[in-house]
Structure 1
Amino acid sequence: MAAANAPITMKEVLTLPAIGIGPQFITFTNVTMESDKYICVRETAPQNSVVIIDMNMPMQPLRRPITADSALMNPNSRILALKGHSFEAQLPGTTQDHLQIFNIEMKAKMKSYQMPEQIVFWKWITPKMLGMVTQTSVYHWSIEGDSEPMKMFERTANLQSNQIINYKCDPSEKWLVLIGIAPGSPERQQLVKGNMQLFSVDQQRSQALEAHAASFAQFKVPGNENPSTLISFATKSFNAGQITSKLHVIELGAQPGKPSFTKKQADLFFPPDFADDFPVAMQISHKYSLIYAITKLGLLFVYDLETATAVYRNRISPDPIFLTAEASTVGGFYAINRRGQVLLATVNEAMIVPFVSGQLNNLELAVNLAKRGNLPGAENLVVQRILRTPDTVAKFQSVPVQPGQTPPLLQYFGTLLTKDKLECTEELGDLVKTVDNDLALKIYIKARATPKVVAAFAERREFDKILIYSKQVGYAPDYLFLLQTILRTDPQGAVNFALMMSQMEGGCPVDYNTITDLFLQRNLIREATAFLLDVLKPNLAEHGYLQTKVLEINLVTFPNVADAILANGMFGHYDRPRIGQLCEKAGLYIRALQHYTDLPDIKRVIVNTHAIEPQALVEFFGTLSREWALECMKDLLLVNLRGNLQIIVQTAKEYCEQLGVDACVKLFEQFKSYEGLYFFLGSYLSSSEDPDIHFKYIEAAARTGQIKEVERVTRESNFYDPEKTKNFLMEAKLPDARPLINVCDRFGFVADLTRYLYSNNMLRYIEGYVQKVNPGNAPLVVGQLLDDECPEDFIKGLILSVRSLLPVEPLVEECEKEFLEHLVSEGSQDVHVHNALGKIIIDSNNNPEHFLTTNPYYDSRVVGKYCEKRDPTLAVVAYRRGQCDDELINVTNKNSLFKLQARYVVERMDGDLWEKVSAAVKAFMTADLPHELIELLEKIVLQNSAFSGNFNLQNLLIFDSD
């Protein structure tokens, strides 16, 4: 490892075997380290598992039984990304990868996706974005929202058949670099080739270069307030028998009209023993602006970013290094070798400045390093360049400095300043500022370097002192320049300063739009948003442009922030059509719907139900007119009937009064969606007495397999059409006959029920009906079974199963009736058979008049006699059919059926019968029944009969009428 006085310190933080990681798993494909927070190891024995090592607690690894082809821990959060073939079943022989992202703390899956191509390399390029490389293309997949991987670019030809070893993006995500390695040329096969593809997102162009390792950095060029984007890359190639090793630093996307970074290039000096070694990784320390190039065999090259000056070279590992990660908090990096050592490289803050100034004899670089990293060791340099009393200074320098105490030399400067014995200049303040900001501020004040004083207050975030000091010295600061200065180092401080300016008396000295553009030029979207949200709180009409602007920039970059702003409802003067379009592009479809006012726009957006919260969509329907709502509901069902049905049902339930129940029913019927009808009518049924609604609900429930609900409604509802429902249930042929039993039992369709059940071999339901539901109807069931020629054994078993609950007399009648009807059907003319059948029909009241008037074979006297006690009018029918005069006269006299008697006498026109009628008239007179007698006489005399000319009857009618 490096010596104690070396500028770079190496430390073994951990060895993977010490925490149970087998050597076979310490490889490039099994170990990942996306940041200085976590290491992730994929094991396949003794069982498939993933080991997560928290670098804050490295000796307490988290091991989980997970099968995966690759596992990546998020750079910042406890979020795990997995890819592989074994999470869900897929077709044999496919090259698809299944991706999943889990939140370990929440124990929940955040996202998943079935990648149609095989991923050969992937990496977290930001805490919110995964970069994924396939054989042909590169994709980005955000963990936010429901977005799918987005293709960024296709791989260039120089990367064909390469092993991809790294993929990075710059902080603005506008530049992307892909690194791969391939076997060496035939002349020197042991020297691996390195290839790089640099891609510009804005220009949508790629450049193919030779490189083994690369990294991005931000650097501020003097005279340019905007940081420049730099890329550094290292390459080692073999051409014309010569090995060339170079380090390059170039600017990407130079800013027009601004000072640009001058391209730098330096040699990489490999010792002879490392002739075939090559860079495998590059990290750039943003804290110290140093480039670390690490080779496979463990060499470390350290270069200055600004000048590409070599600072240090040493071998940091005897074993091959295959993985590195930036250690941003300490300005160094982690490296993992094949032995499983996790090494931490950091800047030796006490030694690097003296090393550069002494060993390298580079005074300017030493001062710059001290400025950037606020490093000690620059005191001698200040003395050498400013003071002309080296002896005095040497005495202070010889005094040892205790940790945490101010160096004696600075105390000396402070004393001279207090006693006003030090000539203060702006240049002196600049130099002192590298080691002591407070002392530098005092020097600036003494030197009346007002701009530097203002800038110093700004850096210290003492914005109120800027105004006080400026007023004291009569200085009008260049607020725009001042804001630009603060922006370079402290974006949040710039926001605070801008807000303070907005509250100044007389108004803000810098236009709000100009301030906003300053933030946006540096891609500080969040800061620009924070500023605008504060100053636009009054919601003034003249700020409509800025309201639109803050929504636009967030809809393009941070749609969730724009969504929150719109949800807050704080703006009322922005360009609503424009924002509606951007909401649609950003996938904020519910917000787009809230902004659109034309039906075609609404119909185009509303079908994106996969990305709209269902309740929000239901609420949106409440804002539409009846016609528009029904039109949109129809479109949703057309696009995805199954997926959108629940939303449409909920909408119909919520707004059935406005939309109309009939219109909703027709909508579901148009798409033959019985499921939709079932759920919609189910909420409306209890308040409806419409038979059609009740029937449609029964029909929908039956067609969707909701048999229990069909059974309940047929049992409880009093509003459906029995005949229509019975016919439907018979046609539907449900596996459960209870709904049909309910209808037929309640509304007297027992014969139809029995016929249906028997013909469909549902004998157990016949048994259940007569045993449990209505034993009293057993005779009707038996009668129908006999009609249907059911086997005698089943009927006997059915009768015996009911036993005491069975009404015997009706059963006997049914059996007799069946037997007799059977004889009749065979052509029997036996009078006794027809007499018995007639008696049964009379007792069962099964249209007896039809039988009595049409059957020619029964004995009228026998059947008439049987009817007298049951229904005298039926007895009259039977006697009339057999012209049984005596019996008819007797029964009509006995039961006062004089109208029937009179009608019969008139019809018969028989003299002998008249004598009997005369006797009847005398009986009326003797019984003092004039009214009944008049009625009888009117029938005989006034109607055209054989007795119309009888003088005795005419006189008697006149006499009784008086």
Structure 2
Amino acid sequence: MSKSLPIKFNEVLQLTSVGVDPSSIGFRTVTMESDKYICVCEKASDNTTQVAIIDLNNPSNVNRRPISADAVIMNPRGGIIGLRAGLTIQLFDIDAKKKIKSHSMNTDVIFWKWISEDTIAIITSTDVLHWSISDEEAPTKIFQLNKSIIDSQIINYRTNETMTWLVVVAISSKGNRIAGTLQLYSIEKKASQIIEGHAAVFCSVQMMGNPEKSNIISFSVKSSNTSLIHFIELGQPAPKNTPFPKRNVELFFPPEASDDFPVAMQSGEKFGVIYLITKRGFIHVYDAESGSCLYMNRISSDTIFVTCPHDIVSGIMGINKKGQVLSVAIDESTIINYIENEMKNPELAVRFASKNNLEGSEKLVESRFYQLCEERKYESAINLVASAPRGMLRTERNIAFFKSLPTEPGKSPWILQYFALLLERSTLNETESIEICQIALSQDRSSMIEKWLKENKLQYTEKLGDVISQYNLKFALSIYLRAECPSKVISCMAKTGQYKNIIIYADKIGLKPDYSYVLSDVIEHDASNSILFANMLIESGQLTNVRDIAELFVRKNMIKEFTAFLLEALKNNDPNDGPLQTMLLEVNLKSAPKVADAIMGNNMFSHYDRPAIARLCESAGLIQRAIEHYTDIYDIKRALVNANQLNIDWVIQFFSTLNVENSFDCIKEMLSNNLQLNLKICIKIAV
């Protein structure tokens, strides 16, 4: 078929090419429960019965088994087959080569099929039953067949996704035509409705503007005077949904196929379409929401007797009497152009492209948007923005446009209507997230931001976090966490006093932050707790840059915190910490000599630069500490000149540690520089 057509049409397989005899190809011998496997009951060369299992992913490797059965159906996912022979039905795990369960029926099975990966539907001459593979129970009666279809040929049985609606499809001869009858059954109401129809399918349709999908049945009928396809919503609409409008659309049959009628229907839910196959091999494709016929043509000169969804392409797969396995699906690359130019329906093209997020429709959608704006149909324009493919209309320019529109009396501003619809249908993009949060903050409605955060309605980016952080650090932290911005997360935690969480978070993500930078944030926002955080870092064992932290405290002139921090960090008196011990004493000797004196008096440290500290002690007036630290006699002599300021007992004790020569030199220095004040001390030393 031409590439310009709106469908992709392919022959997936020819059954005869894999050894299936044409005489074995028919409704009663071939089953296709999914697009994965085909089962054929056939005669072997020795005239015995066998089953051919064809894996459509590997069709050349046909698995033929010597199984005698009237019918075989493969589980939709494979691995399990149902066998029917006379009144006996059995389930086998073909991979494990074991029987799962079996049951003897009281009456003939006239139709059966898998309706899920877990359940087989069984129809007898009187009842519809379901048989589960997950337990040991016998088939369970679901409802009774209506007398109007008891004598008809059952050709299909369908359920909706939740198995709350069921339908039996039957045909029968009436004069010179084939009549169709549907028995629609509601599990909830436990009631049936008889409808004229030849084929039916349940589907979930996403209507434009509705937050939830609508539960639809579509069925088709060719009667003596009408040919229609119907689209009807089942049950009540979802709470925020607009009800699905009931539609019936004429089915076209060409004059040369006046005796034709529908035989199968499948839904392509990815695109919201219904595929319909007729007895004469025509394909009809309908848009389920609008009921528009998108395409119709003949795809087979032979009857297609079995179909199933072709899930991988959201299409339909069928087998005809020649053994052709055919597939039809929407062609994403051509469908929009076809609807617009061949069907001459640009409005449907825009809606179909928007709903299905299809490429190649940008100019069409954009043109429609500008047209709506020019016509001042702003509500429709907003709807189009919300549904346009890949968010193509959700731009800064269009946000600015809706912001600029004057507010109509009694209505919300257009920009708020814009955001309300987008929030209802989707998650906002980065630009929208920033814009709506700025609006909420300007109106002092931070509670709305909290609501959007809980509902995951925003796109979490560093830029959004930066905007929010100016007003609310708690919300900003939530955004930074989701946007995976570690440095901003830690900064927010620091500013909000979550010190322990900083360490936990950094450890969790394997991050080694610059804690001096983090501490700077803590100091800026809560200086009184800075030492608490610093000590937490020490206890955690994650602190590697003690000097940086210490220098930060000094730069901030936080000497008390500096001292407390280093006293804790250096308490083990590690030889490697000599420079930091020196720093601790040096800073305190310059700013708080009494503190330095107390530290040295406690003999906590022994690895600092003693000569350097001795000089600083002397400069700070701590003569005794200076003398204790000096080793050069010339430094000691100089310091002892001020011995009158020292405890005399300590001076006498100190002299006892000197040799005679050094003692004499020191006394001489003391007397020559300050005879009056030092004479009495020197006499006591000499005695």
Q: TM bucket by the smaller chain?
A: 0.5 to 0.7
1:156 corresponding residue in structure 2: 146
* Correspondence for 2:355: 372
Q: Aligned residue for 2:220?
A: 234
In the TM superposition, residue 436 of structure 1 has moved relative to its aligned partner by 2.7
Q: Does 1:203 align with 2:193?
A: no
- Secondary structure of 2:267's counterpart equals strand
User: 2:214, 2:238 within 8 Å by CA — same for their partners in 1?
Assistant: no
**1:311 matched residue in structure 2:** 294
What amino acid maps onto 1:277 in structure 2? Answer: D
Q: Which residue is equivalent to 2:231?
A: 249
Q: Which has the larger radius of gyration?
A: 1
Aligned-partner Cα distance in 2 for 1:426–1:248: 27
- For 1:102 and 1:74, how far apart are their aligned partners in 2? 10
Q: For residues 192 and 131 of structure 1, do their structure 2 counterparts lie closer, same or farther at Cα, with a shift above 3 Å needed?
A: same
Partner of 1:100: 90
Distance 1:470 1:143, change over 3 A: farther
Whole-angstrom CA distance in 1 between matches of 2:149 and 2:303? 24
1:475-494 matches, cutoff 5 A: 475-477=446-448
Report the CA distance between 1:440 and its aligned residue.
2.7
Q: Which residue among 388, 391, 394 is the counterpart of 1:437? A: 391
The 3 A distance-change label for structure 1 pair 383 and 149 is same
1:274 and 2:228 matched: no
Shift of 1:6: 1.1
Which of 157, 168, 175 aligns to 1:167? It is 157
For residues 438 and 5 of structure 1, the distance between their equivalents in structure 2, rounded to whole angstroms, comes to 25
User: What 5-or-longer segments of structure 2 have no aligned partner?
Assistant: 372-377, 404-414, 458-473, 476-687
1:123 match: secondary structure = strand
CA–CA distance in 1 between the matches of 2:435 and 2:426?
6
CA distance in 2, matches of 1:271, 1:166: 26
SS state at 1:183 partner: strand
| 1:71 counterpart = 2:72 | yes
Higher RCO structure, 1 or 2 (CA under 8 Å, sep 6+): 2
What is the 5 A alignment of 1:502-901? none
Deviation at 1:469, TM superposition (A): 8.4
The answer to whether structure 1 residue 82 and structure 2 residue 83 are counterparts is yes
Query: What residue number does 2:9 align with?
Result: 10
Q: Residue 330 of structure 1 aligns with which residue?
A: 313
* SS of alignment partner, residue 91 of structure 2: strand
Q: Which of 205, 221, 226 pairs up with 1:219?
A: 205
Q: Secondary structure at the match of 1:436?
A: helix
Which amino acid letter does the alignment assign opposite residue 44 of structure 2? A
Cα deviation, residue 267, structure 1: 0.7
Residues paired across the two proteins, number:
433
**SS of the residue 2:148 aligns to:** helix
Give yes or no for contact 2:440–2:449 (8 Å, CA) kept in 1: no
Distance 2:171 2:455 in 1: 42
Contact 1:317 1:337 in 2 (8 A): yes
Q: Which residue of 2 aligns with 1:614?
A: none
How far residue 266 of structure 1 moved from its aligned partner, in angstroms, is 0.7
Q: 2:178 aligns with which of 158, 182, 192?
A: 192
Matched-pair identity in %: 37
The answer on whether the counterparts of 1:429 and 1:440 sit within 8 Å (CA) in structure 2 is no
Q: Is the 2:208–2:355 Cα contact (8 Å) retained in structure 1? A: no
Q: Deviations over 1:530-577 (max 9, x none)?
A: xxxxxxxxxxxxxxxxxxxxxxxxxxxxxxxxxxxxxxxxxxxxxxxx
Structure 1 residue runs of 5 or longer lacking an equivalent are: 86-96, 389-423, 487-503, 506-962
* 1:134 CA drift (Å): 0.2
- Tell me which amino acid in the other structure corresponds to 2:172: A
Shift of 1:302: 1.3
Residue 366 of structure 1 aligns to a residue whose secondary structure is helix
For 2:383 and 2:153, locate their aligned partners in 1 and report how far apart those are by CA, in whole Å.
53
1:259 is displaced (CA, Å) by 3.2
Q: Post-superposition shift, 1:108? A: 2.5
Name the CA shift for 1:32/1:361 in 2 (closer, same or farther; >3 Å).
same
Q: Is the 8 A contact 2:437 2:449 kept in 1?
A: no
* One-letter identity of the residue aligned with 1:83: R
> Which structure has greater strand proportion?
2
Equivalent residues of 1:444, 1:453 under 8 A apart? no
SS in 2 for 1:82: strand
SS in 1 for 2:355: helix
Q: Is residue 38 from structure 1 mapped to residue 21 from structure 2 by the alignment?
A: no
CA spacing shift, 1:445–1:108, aligned 2, 3 Å: farther
- Decide whether aligned partners of structure 1 residues 209 and 452 sit closer, same or farther in structure 2, where only a CA change above 3 A counts: closer
Q: Please state which structure has a larger fraction of its residues in helix.
A: 1
CA distance in 1, matches of 2:369, 2:230: 35
Separation (CA, whole Å) in 2 of partners of 1:229 and 1:65? 43
**Partner amino acid, structure 2, of 1:109:** K
The verdict on how the C-alpha distance between 1:199 and 1:484 changes in structure 2, with shifts beyond 3 A counting, is farther
Residue deviations 1:738-792 (CA, integer Å, cap 9, x gap): xxxxxxxxxxxxxxxxxxxxxxxxxxxxxxxxxxxxxxxxxxxxxxxxxxxxxxx
d(CA) in 2 for partners of 1:36, 1:312: 23
Kept in 2: contact 1:210–1:235 (CA 8 A): yes
Q: How far, CA to CA, are the matches of 1:480 and 1:192 in structure 2?
A: 59
TM-score (norm 2): 0.58
* RMSD of aligned alpha carbons: 3.4
Alignment of 1:368-517 (within 5 A): 368-387=351-370, 427=381, 430-431=384-385, 434-437=388-391, 440=394, 450-451=419-420, 458=427, 475-477=446-448
Q: Which residue of 1 aligns with 2:668?
A: none
Tell me if the contact between 1:425 and 1:443 (Cα under 8 Å) persists in the aligned partners.
Answer: no
Post-superposition Cα deviations, 1:2-42, rounded to whole Å, max 9, x if no partner, equal 33211112111110000000001110011111111111111
Change (3 A) 1:256 1:372: closer
Residue 174 of structure 2: SS of its match in structure 1? coil
Q: Deviations over 1:261-317 (max 9, x none)?
A: 111011111111111111110011101111111011101111111121121110011
Q: Is the 8 A contact 2:277 2:284 kept in 1?
A: yes
Deviations 1:663-717 (A, max 9, x none): xxxxxxxxxxxxxxxxxxxxxxxxxxxxxxxxxxxxxxxxxxxxxxxxxxxxxxx
Distance 1:13 1:365 in 2: 31
Q: Write the distance in 2 (CA, Å) between the matches of 1:4 and 1:228.
A: 33
Distance 1:250-1:445 versus aligned 2 partners, 3 A rule: same
How far residue 383 of structure 1 moved from its aligned partner, in angstroms, is 3.6
Identify the residue that residue 131 of structure 2 maps to in structure 1.
141
Q: Secondary structure at the match of 1:192?
A: strand
CA distance in 1, matches of 2:387, 2:237: 29
The Cα shift of 1:437 comes to 3.2
C-alpha change, 1:431 and 1:59, in structure 2 (3 Å) is: farther
Residue matched to 1:355: 338
CA–CA distance in structure 2, aligned partners of residues 81 and 17 of structure 1? 24
